[in-house]
């Protein structure tokens, strides 16, 4: 197959950058977008000034406040982020229609063939970053390579406002020195398990046999084996379809009372029912997510032969699954319900990231 030219574009400190752009008083300051520090909300993102204090996405806002009490805490304004997202999406389509958005602020582009007929993908990327700034007054970073994995990892290397190219000749060295936590697809749990086996960087990963990786990491083993060698054949797929629809909620206080949990699950089930019916879909699998007070997550799933679409069914399944967790014995911080194995194709709704628990309602 002919060498592909893939770009991954990712906006810098996206929500926080939009807030700083729209409110000059916030510029140059630690800005935290997310839940209120006095609530149990979390940080959606923060400005680079705030990152210097050790603050990061998904940290509790209360913790962020401890680390930097003088930071500006602002609520997210999704309409503003969506507007920017549309602007950059439109720009991408001036270069190619093979655009795969991963969220509001990032996308893969396959520019092997591109509309202006530019030869070098790095030139396309440079132009895109410049135009993003011209049109939105926001900066983005980009990675350019011959597959998605390398482009994605590369886009993170010179943030903010950076462009990193990884050519086939450079790939081996690039991967070898890269700490595995920077590898897309290696989550925190896998990272710990890799570190425990002495796998710290790409070069360590490359030493592992396929058999070992499959034994340790199951289905993902092949993926890790391939990426350690710079191999990733996944295509850039425009308009991905959603794999699941769900809702989760962080409780006001850690809860050890099962009756109360069931009330929360009942509310969640009704919300998920509404989400499904708004999209005119249903699914075969229901997953319950429980986060204990120590932030450990567990999930339980049940798959039915008949599509699940109403809240009542969801609640009765959820109750069964709740009994298969330690909820009640251990206090619970968050509960979530998700329907997957969807019975229809639903285009990826880029608002998915917004369903994270900011604790606004």
Nearer Cβ to ligand DCP (19/232): 19
Contact set for ligand DCP, span 104-133 (CB under 6 A): 105-106
H/E/C letters for each residue in the chain?
CCCCCEEEEEECCHHHHHHHHHCHHHCCCCEEEECCCCCCCEEEEECHHHHCCCCCCCCEHHHHHHHCCCCEEECCCHHHHHHHHHHHHHHHHCCCCCEEEEECCEEEEECCCCCCCCCCHHHHHHHHHHHHHHHHCCCEEEEEECCHHHHHHHHCCCCCCCEEECCHHHHHHHHHHCEHHHCCCCCHHHHHHHHHCCCCEHHHHHHCCHHHHHHHHCCHHHHHHHHCCCCCCCCCCCCCECCEEEEEEEEEEEECCHHHHHHHHHHHHHHHHHHHHHCCCCEEEEEEEEEECCCCEEEEEEEEEEEECCHHHHHHHHHHHHHCCCECCECEEEEEEEEEEECCCCECCHHHHHHCCCCCC
Count interface residues toward ligand DCP (CB under 6 A).
17
Contact set for Mg ion, span 86-105 (CB under 5 A): 105
- Contacted by 44, from ligand DCP, Mg ion, none: CB < 5 to 8 Å by type: ligand DCP
Does 263 interact with ligand DCP (rule: CB under 6 A)?
no
Q: How far is the CB of 182 from ligand DCP (least distance, A)?
A: 12
Does 45 interact with ligand DCP (rule: CB under 6 A)?
yes
Tell which one of 7, 8, 10, 20 touches ligand DCP (CB under 6 A): 10
Nearer Cβ to ligand DCP (61/281): 61
Nearer Cβ to Mg ion (15/358): 15
Marked catalytic residue, from 49, 100, 106, 273: 106
Nearer Cβ to ligand DCP (20/287): 20
The residue ranges that bind ligand DCP (CB under 6 A) are 10-15, 44-45, 57-58, 103, 105-106, 159-160, 353, 356
Q: Which residues are catalytic?
A: 106
């Amino acid at each position: 197959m002919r060498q592909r030219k893939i770009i991954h574009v990712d906006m810098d400190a996206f929500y926080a950058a939009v807030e700083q752009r729209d409110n000059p008083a916030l510029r140059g300051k630690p800005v935290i977008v997310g839940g209120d520090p006095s609530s149990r909300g979390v940080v959606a993102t923060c400005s680079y000034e705030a990152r210097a204090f050790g603050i990061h996405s998904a940290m509790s806002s209360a913790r962020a406040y401890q680390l930097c009490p003088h930071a500006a805490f602002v609520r997210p304004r999704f309409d503003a982020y969506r507007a920017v997202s549309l602007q950059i999406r439109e720009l991408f389509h001036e270069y190619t229609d093979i655009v795969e958005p991963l969220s509001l602020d990032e996308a893969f582009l396959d520019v092997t063939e591109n509309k202006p007929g530019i030869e070098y993908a790095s030139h396309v990327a440079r132009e895109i970053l410049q135009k993003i700034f011209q049109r939105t007054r926001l900066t983005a970073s980009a990675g350019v390579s011959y597959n998605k994995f390398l482009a994605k990892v590369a886009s993170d290397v010179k943030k903010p406002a950076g462009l990193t190219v990884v050519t086939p000749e450079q790939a081996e060295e690039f991967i070898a020195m890269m700490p595995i936590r920077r590898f897309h697809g290696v989550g925190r749990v896998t990272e710990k398990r890799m570190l425990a086996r002495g796998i710290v960087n790409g070069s360590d990963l490359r030493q592992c046999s396929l058999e070992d990786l499959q034994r340790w990491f199951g289905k993902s083993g092949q993926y890790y084996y391939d990426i350690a060698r710079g191999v990733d054949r996944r295509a850039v797929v425009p308009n991905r379809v959603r794999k699941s629809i769900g809702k989760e909620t962080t409780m006001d206080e850690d809860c050890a009372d099962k009756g109360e949990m069931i009330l929360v699950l009942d509310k969640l089930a009704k919300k998920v029912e509404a989400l499904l019916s708004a999209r005119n879909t249903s699914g075969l699998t229901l997953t319950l997510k429980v986060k204990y007070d120590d932030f450990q997550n567990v999930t339980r799933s049940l798959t039915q032969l008949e599509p699940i679409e109403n809240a009542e069914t969801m609640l009765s399944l959820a109750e069964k699954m709740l009994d298969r967790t330690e909820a009640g014995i251990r206090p619970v911080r968050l509960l979530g319900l998700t329907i997957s194995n969807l019975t229809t194709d639903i285009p990826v709704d880029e608002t998915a990231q917004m369903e994270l628990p900011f604790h606004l309602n």
